[in-house]
Structure 1
Amino acid sequence: MPEKFWNIDMVKGRQALSLLPRRSDGSGQVDWGETEVALIDTGYTEHPVMGPWQEGKSPIVRVDDGLNLMERGARAQDSLDYEGTPGHGTRVASVLCGNLPGSFVGLAPGLSMIPYRAFNHVVISSKHARKRIAESIRHAVDISAAEVISMSFGFPQMSLFAQRHLGEAVDHAYDRGIIMVCAGGQIVDRVTYPGKFSRTIGVGGVTPKRRVWFRYDKSMAKRSIDIWAPADDVLRANSMLRDGEVVPDANGPGDGTSYATVHVAAAAAMWLRRREDELDEAYPEPWQRVEAFRNILTETSQDVAGDYWPERSRGILDIEALLKANLPDPGKLKREDRKAADEIF
C-alpha cells in the first residue's frame, strides 16, 4: 500500500504551499486572495472536508456563484439519487481543495471552488450534456470570473458538427486567458474531449511507482497529454446516500485521471496566486498566461518510470519547481491557433 498522501508528496505539493502568502489571522492557512477554480462536475455535497458549513454555506465552496444545469434554479448541490457517478464532484473537489486538518487535506487546502452541476455521469454521451458543459464554461468565464476551470470528465469521439458549441466555449475561455485543465480519460486508448482540444491542458495519470497508469495510443498521448499526475490509489473524501439523506462516507482510495486533473488545477491556482503581481505586466495578451503555464509545466516536470513515455519532455507534475521557475519570455510563447471549434481528430 502506498503512503496515505503519496500523491501530494510526489508532486511536491506541501513544498509548493510553503511558497504562498499566509493569512494575517494567525491560522497559518494560505491566503488565496481572489484566486478561484471552477469545477464542472456532478456538483457538491456538504462534506466536512469542504466546511465548516453554516446554513448551507462554506468558506471553500462558493455555493451562490456556481450553476446547476440539471435542476435549474437550485444550487449546484449533488443529491446522489440517480444512476451514473453520484458524488464524483465531491470526491475530486476534496483532492483539489479539501481542508479538515487532522482528517483530510487536499492539494490546495482552503482554495475557493465554484461548483457546477452539469451532468450525472462523467462519461459524456449526449448532445444535451455537451451543451450544459459549454454553458458552464461560459458562465465560469463571464459571470464567475474563475481563473482556472477543472474538468474531470470526457467523451472519446465527436463529429465536427456535434462538438462545435463546446469547442466555441473552449475558444472563448482560451482567448480570455483561462487555464482549462482536462482529464485524459481511461475508457479507450485515445485521449477524451475536451482534453483532446489543443487549447486545454490535457492530463494523464501515474501510479505511486511513477509509471503511466493508463496507456493511450502514443501518437494521441504525444499530441494531447501535456503533463502526468497521480491517478491510482489517491485518498479522497466521499459522500453517500443513507435512508434518503446525504451523509459523509469514510475516506478511501480513488482511481482515474479525474484525480490527476485536479492536481494540475491546484497547481495552476498556486501558480496564479504566486505570480499574480507579475502576470499582467509580463503578458499583455490573455492567451499568453495559458501558454506560459503549459511551457513551465513541461520545463519543470519530473521523469516518468517505465517503458511507456510518448513525449519525454512531458513528465510528472512538480508544483514546487513550477512555482519557483522564472516566467518565460512572452516572445517565445506561441499562440495555439488550432481552434477547438474546428478541431476534430
Structure 2
Amino acid sequence: MKKRKFFVISLFFVVFLLSGCIFSLYKSRISGSISPFVGSVVEDKQSVLAIEPSTSSIEFEHHVSGEYIVKFNDWLDRNKASSLFMSVGMEKSSIQKALSFRGSKTNYFLIKASEENIEKLKRLPEVEFVEPNYLFFSQAEVTPNDPYYPEQWHYSLINLPAAWSITKGSSLTVVAIIDTGVRFDHPDLQGIFYDDGYDFVDDDPDPTDPGMSYDGKIISHGTHVAGTIAALTNNSQGVSGVCWGGSGIRILPIRVLDDSGIGTSFDVARGIVYAVEHGAKVLNMSLGSPSDSSIIRDAIKYAYDNDVVVVCAAGNDNGSLRYPAKYPETIAVGAVRLDKERAWYSNYGPELDVVAPGGDLGVDQNGDGNPDGVLSTCWISNDGELYEFLQGTSMAAPHVSGIVALLMSKGYTGVETIRKILRYTAEDLGEPGFDNYYGAGLVDAYRALTYDTGYEPFIVWTVDAVTGVIDSITSADEGGNFLLTEVKARSVYVYAWRDVDHNMYLTSGDLYGYYGYSGGNPKDGTPTAITVEPGETITVEFQFSPIITDRLKPVFEGSLLQKVLEIKEAAVEEYYNKLERK
C-alpha cells in the first residue's frame, strides 16, 4: 500500500514537472525596437499646403502691407469664402493661402485686400476676426568665432556636463526648429535630422537656409540654433550640442523666416501646425513679434492641446516679452551673461519662465580672449566660417529646448510637468523667488534630470489576437528597445504607448503605435498580427507617432487598462528607486 502511494505521488510529481516544461515551451519571446514615424500623422494634408504662393513684398513694418488673415465662425470651403469676400467688393483671386487645424471646425484664409474692404469684412456676422499678417523677427546678433568646446562656457553654467552622465538623448525624441532653415551640408550636423522638413517661405520641401543678412555678413541663424541643441559631440570636430548630437535626438527643420530674418504670422502658424502634425514634441521658436497675433495664439494653443512643449525666445528689446513667448502655453526664456547677470538686451515680465545663457559680445569675463557670445554651428557665406559667436535670447532658447529634449529622453513628459521641473530646479537669481527679470531662475540640466516626479515609461505589450486579452507587458528603454519574455499566445498584436499627459488614458498628444502602423492617425489604424511558434524568439521593429486629434475616449478599458497601468506604475517606481540608489 505504501509503495502504491509512493508510486502515485511520484507519478503526479513527474506529470507536474512535465506539464510545467510543456507549458514553458509555449512561452515565446519577442524582442525589438520602436522609433518615431517620419511623415504626417494626419490624413488631411491640406492643413499645411498653400493654395498658391504669395507674391506680396514685405515692408519693414510689423506686418505685410495689404495682407490679412481671416477666421470665420464656422468652417467654410474656398468657394463659400470667395463668395463672402466678393460680397464686400474684393476680387475672386483675393485668397492667397489657407490653413486649418485637425479637429477644428474653423479655418483661416490669407487674403490680399484694401483697408476699405477689410472694414466691410469685419462687419460680416460670419467673420470671427480679421488681423494683419504680422511679421516675426530673428532674435540674434553676430561676432567672430572660435570652434572649440572650451569656449562653450554656457554649458557648464547650466550644469550640463553632469547631466550628460544621466542621458545624452534618445532617438525617440523629435525637436522642431522653426526658424530660417538649416544648412544640411554643415559637417557638424550630419545625421541629426529626423526629416527634410518644409520651407514655408518658398513653399517647397527644402528648408535649406539661404542665409540671413546681418551686420555685413550672411549667416544661418537656424543652423546656430540647431547646433546648440544637437551639434555632433565627441567627434573631434567643432562644437558640442546640449543633446550630445549623434546620440539620438533628431531635428525637424522648418523654415518660416526669409533671408532678412523676417517671416509672417501666417507662415509661422503653418510651421507650428506642420511641426505638431509631423511628430515633434518640442518646438524651438527663436523668433518674436511685438504684435499679438490671433492665428499664432491659436496655433500655439493647438500645439499645447496636443502636449507639445513650445520653447520661445523672450526678445532682445530690453522691454516686455515678445510674442509668442508672452502666451501662457509657451515656455518663455530670457538670457543671462557668463556672470549670471541678466543680459542687457533680454526682455522681461511676469510671463517669463526661466533664463538661460544668451551671451554678451561686449565683454570677456572669463579672460579667454573671446567675447562672451554663445558659440555654435553656423554658416557664413562671406568667408566660409562654420562656427560663430552670437548673442540673444535666440541663443538662450535652444539651451532650454535641449534640456526639455533630454527630459523627454528620460521619460519626463507633459507640458506643465516639464514647466514645473524647469522652474523648481532652476537656480534662483535676482530677487528671492520668482521675479520679472529672471523668472524662476537659471535652468539647471542636472537637477532637472534628477527631479522626483514626472517620469512616464514607454509601455510595450502584446494582445492575444484571438481572445483580445493582454498577454505580455514590458517597457522600452531610452533607445526604444524592448524584450517581451512571457508571450504565451501564438498569434498576437504588439502595441506601444507613452502616456504623455499622465491622465491614464490614451488621448491626443500621447505617443502610440503598433506593429503594422504605416502612417496617419495611429488610433484609426489596424495592427498586424504576429505568429510566434512555441518557445520561439522573434525580433520586430515598428513605429509610433503622436495622436493628433480632439480629446479621445479611453481605448483601453476595464481589466485590460488596469493591467497596463499596473505595469506602468511598477516601471515608474523602479525608475525612482534607481535614482535614489545613485
Length-normalised TM-score, structure 2: 0.46
Following superposition, the deviation at residue 259 of structure 1 comes to 0.8
Question: In structure 2, which of residues 362, 367, 381 is the aligned counterpart of residue 241 of structure 1?
Answer: 381
Measured in 2, the distance between the counterparts of 1:198 and 1:99 equals: 33
| Partner residue in 2 for 1:178 | 308
| SS of structure 2 residue aligned to 1:295 | helix
| Partner residue in 2 for 1:339 | none
Deviation track 1:243-291 (CA, whole Å, cap 9, x = no partner) reads xxxx851523210000100000001100011025xx5xxxxxxxxx111
Question: Which structure 1 residue ranges, 4+ long, deviate > 4 Å from structure 2?
Answer: 81-86, 121-124, 305-309, 328-331
| Partner residue in 2 for 1:152 | 286
**Residue 330 of structure 2 is aligned to residue 200 of structure 1:** yes
**Residue 389 of structure 2 is aligned to residue 253 of structure 1:** yes
Following superposition, the deviation at residue 3 of structure 1 comes to 5.6
User: Is the 2:321–2:349 contact (alpha carbons within 8 Å) kept by the matching residues of 1?
Assistant: no
| SS of structure 2 residue aligned to 1:294 | helix
**In angstroms, what is the RMSD of aligned CA positions?**
2.9
- AA in 2 matched with 1:260: A
* 1:50–1:164 CA distance, 2 compared to 1 (3 A): same
- AA in 2 matched with 1:209: D
Following superposition, the deviation at residue 122 of structure 1 comes to 7.8
User: Is the 2:380–2:386 contact (alpha carbons within 8 Å) kept by the matching residues of 1?
Assistant: no
| Partner residue in 2 for 1:228 | 355
* 1:112–1:303 CA distance, 2 compared to 1 (3 A): same
| Partner residue in 2 for 1:296 | 421
- AA in 1 matched with 2:242: L
Structure 2 residues without counterparts, runs of 5 or longer: 1-145, 360-372, 456-500, 503-582
Following superposition, the deviation at residue 109 of structure 1 comes to 2.3
User: Is the 1:94–1:236 contact (alpha carbons within 8 Å) kept by the matching residues of 2?
Assistant: yes
Deviation track 1:211-248 (CA, whole Å, cap 9, x = no partner) reads 0113667xxx3421100000001112221225xxxx85
| Partner residue in 2 for 1:336 | none
Measured in 2, the distance between the counterparts of 1:213 and 1:94 equals: 21
Measured in 2, the distance between the counterparts of 1:315 and 1:37 equals: 23
| Partner residue in 2 for 1:168 | 298
- Equivalent residues in 2 for 1:1-345 (5 A)? 4-20=151-167, 30=168, 32-45=170-183, 46-51=185-190, 59-64=191-196, 66-80=197-211, 86-100=219-233, 101-102=235-236, 103-110=238-245, 111-120=249-258, 124=262, 129-142=264-277, 144-158=278-292, 163-214=293-344, 221-232=348-359, 233-242=373-382, 248-275=384-411, 279=413, 289-304=414-429, 309-310=435-436, 314-327=440-453
| Partner residue in 2 for 1:335 | none
Measured in 1, the distance between the counterparts of 2:441 and 2:390 equals: 22
User: Is the 1:97–1:106 contact (alpha carbons within 8 Å) kept by the matching residues of 2?
Assistant: yes
Measured in 1, the distance between the counterparts of 2:438 and 2:212 equals: 44
Deviation track 1:135-162 (CA, whole Å, cap 9, x = no partner) reads 01111111x110100000101233xxxx
| SS of structure 2 residue aligned to 1:192 | coil
| SS of structure 1 residue aligned to 2:334 | strand
* Higher share of residues assigned helix: 1
Following superposition, the deviation at residue 34 of structure 1 comes to 1.5
Q: Which moved more, 1:250-259 or 1:113-122?
A: 113-122
Following superposition, the deviation at residue 164 of structure 1 comes to 1.1
Measured in 2, the distance between the counterparts of 1:312 and 1:71 equals: 37
Following superposition, the deviation at residue 123 of structure 1 comes to 6.3
Following superposition, the deviation at residue 104 of structure 1 comes to 1.1
* 1:88–1:81 CA distance, 2 compared to 1 (3 A): closer
* 1:31–1:97 CA distance, 2 compared to 1 (3 A): closer
Following superposition, the deviation at residue 81 of structure 1 comes to 7.2
* 1:317–1:83 CA distance, 2 compared to 1 (3 A): closer
Following superposition, the deviation at residue 82 of structure 1 comes to 6.1
| SS of structure 1 residue aligned to 2:176 | strand
User: Is the 1:197–1:224 contact (alpha carbons within 8 Å) kept by the matching residues of 2?
Assistant: yes
Measured in 2, the distance between the counterparts of 1:19 and 1:216 equals: 31
* 1:172–1:72 CA distance, 2 compared to 1 (3 A): same
| SS of structure 2 residue aligned to 1:50 | coil
User: Is the 1:237–1:249 contact (alpha carbons within 8 Å) kept by the matching residues of 2?
Assistant: no
User: Is the 1:7–1:234 contact (alpha carbons within 8 Å) kept by the matching residues of 2?
Assistant: yes
User: Is the 2:346–2:393 contact (alpha carbons within 8 Å) kept by the matching residues of 1?
Assistant: no
Following superposition, the deviation at residue 312 of structure 1 comes to 7.1
Q: Which has the higher contact order (CA 8 A, sep 6+)?
A: 1
Following superposition, the deviation at residue 303 of structure 1 comes to 2.7
Deviation track 1:290-336 (CA, whole Å, cap 9, x = no partner) reads 111111111100132589953777000001100100126999xxxxx
Measured in 1, the distance between the counterparts of 2:260 and 2:165 equals: 33
| SS of structure 1 residue aligned to 2:411 | helix
Q: Which moved more, 1:77-86 or 1:256-265?
A: 77-86
* 1:153–1:189 CA distance, 2 compared to 1 (3 A): same
Q: Which moved more, 1:257-266 or 1:78-87?
A: 78-87
Measured in 2, the distance between the counterparts of 1:3 and 1:309 equals: 32
Length-normalised TM-score, structure 1: 0.76
| SS of structure 1 residue aligned to 2:225 | helix
* Higher share of residues assigned strand: 2
Following superposition, the deviation at residue 31 of structure 1 comes to 5.4
User: Is the 2:350–2:435 contact (alpha carbons within 8 Å) kept by the matching residues of 1?
Assistant: no
Measured in 2, the distance between the counterparts of 1:315 and 1:150 equals: 19
User: Is the 2:213–2:261 contact (alpha carbons within 8 Å) kept by the matching residues of 1?
Assistant: no
